[in-house]
Structure 1
Amino acid sequence: MRSFWSEPFLWIHLAGLAALPILLVLCWLGLAVGDPILPVWLELLLIVVVGIAPVLWMQLFRHFNIFSILILALKPEKLTQEQRKILSLFKKPLQRVLAIAAPILLVAILWQLYRAAPIAAPFAPFPPEWRFAGLLLAAAAFLLCNLFLQVPISVLAVLMTSESAFAATEPYPLEKIRQDFTIPGWQVNQILPFINVQEKQSSSASAPIIEDAGSKPSNSSNSI
């Protein structure tokens, strides 16, 4: 196993991929509300722009900082050398390629959902006259679809990095992290306290045991 695979933030964000099917269903239900009020191409264009542009811009120019959970994020100065190496991997050219390829896949899926929207009409969350609300729901769900696809795919690319390539990677400059990465939420010193506890336990377990010579039991026997 590669040494950096022990970083829990990688697996937490990779697991976000499990939310993608749920979000696609929400998008489908939003598209199923009522009949189109705008030309088909215009409705799709609006959903694509709202759903893709913010996440694509973030991944291309200020990549999502994975050292965060919900509304909390680790302060850059609290990141370890290994964590800063992981950040450097998110700035590789492959990440830009994936950031562009992922939305193309989702747009193809969106088109299929739009075509199949009448099937979901009985389960639409709003009455037919609320078409605009349905489009808003579809756009919001599609935005989250992009986020929960883009971030796990970028994490997967990092996990596929070889151990030798990771060892040769330079830690990302501390002073540039806030400038070059999107850090969501409130910045704190620590998010997963149990990791430090485990490190302390492992370090104490590996520490040499020094016995007090004065307290060692004597093996000599008394002569009779």
Structure 2
Amino acid sequence: MRSFRSEPILWIHVAGLAAMPIFLLLCLLFLSVGQPVLPVWIELLLVAAVGVIPLLWMQLRRPFYIFAILGIAIKPENLTEQQRKILCLINTKLNRVLALVAAILSIGVLWQLYQATPLVVNVASFLPQWHGVGLVLAALTFLASNLFLQIPVSVARVLVTNDTEFAAIKPLPLEKIKKDFTILGVRVNKILPQLTSEVKTEE
């Protein structure tokens, strides 16, 4: 039986972490657009609320169903026993703690971005200097950066699980998958080809 760590979609989500700096850079540019019209703490609160709360709420209440990418999700009934075990590791108290820690760290990063806005004012000068629009776009790009942080964090928890612990896990029942996870996207039978290994025996 192949290792659960060879599940391709796990590594796709981990690789998504590389997109986080791109969205943070965009967030920085949009924060530097125009002249602030609100106190700093209000602007930061608005951007943080849009960028952190929806994803954190999802991860705490009904975690993201990781067998989905780019608006396409594998039908829960088509998951293998191993994939349903992986979902058991996603929906744990530890992952909720990790989600909270990631959210707190991201707010710290947002504060650092705001402090750095004077350094990129000239770079952002080519954009329309509408500060309100800039704040909206900053909030949306900050939301995207958090998406590419929260999901890899939850997947990383799976990858560090030892084989003995994984073997002892019971597959998550189908009805709990639909009830306990946020499944986004069009549901299909398969997204990626399954990696299979055949053991040949000699008679």
Could you say which residue in structure 1 is the equivalent of 2:88?
88
> What are the ranges of 5 or more consecutive residues in structure 1 without an aligned counterpart?
210-224
CA distance in 1, matches of 2:50, 2:35: 20
CA root-mean-square deviation = 1.5
> What are the ranges of 5 or more consecutive residues in structure 2 without an aligned counterpart?
none
Could you say which residue in structure 2 is the equivalent of 1:186?
186
What fraction of aligned residue pairs are identical, expressed as a percent? 57
| Residues 1-224 of structure 1 aligned to structure 2 (within 5 Å) | 3-124=3-124, 126-128=127-129, 130-192=130-192, 194-195=193-194, 199=196, 202-203=197-198, 206=200, 208=202
CA distance in 1, matches of 2:166, 2:71: 29
* SS of the residue 2:187 aligns to: strand
Q: Check whether the contact 1:27–1:142 (CA below 8 A) recurs between aligned residues.
A: yes
Q: Residue deviations 1:53-95, cap 9 Å, x none?
A: 1100111111011111101100000000000000000112110
Could you say which residue in structure 2 is the equivalent of 1:221?
none
CA distance in 2, matches of 1:127, 1:79: 47
CA distance in 1, matches of 2:144, 2:86: 24
CA distance in 2, matches of 1:62, 1:207: 44
Question: TM-score, normalised on structure 2?
Answer: 0.94
Instruction: Figure out how many residues of one structure are paired with residues of the other and give that number.
Output: 201
What is the deviation of 1:137? 1.0
Q: Check whether the contact 1:126–1:133 (CA below 8 A) recurs between aligned residues.
A: no
CA distance in 2, matches of 1:41, 1:206: 65
Instruction: Decide which structure has the larger Cα Rg and report it.
Output: 1
Question: TM-score, normalised on structure 1?
Answer: 0.86
What is the deviation of 1:206? 2.0
CA distance in 1, matches of 2:49, 2:200: 54
Q: Residue deviations 1:88-132, cap 9 Å, x none?
A: 00112110110100011111111111111011111225222x001
Q: Check whether the contact 1:126–1:134 (CA below 8 A) recurs between aligned residues.
A: no
Q: Check whether the contact 1:31–1:134 (CA below 8 A) recurs between aligned residues.
A: yes
CA distance in 2, matches of 1:106, 1:14: 17
The letter of the residue matching 1:142 is F
CA distance in 1, matches of 2:120, 2:147: 24
CA distance in 1, matches of 2:95, 2:8: 20
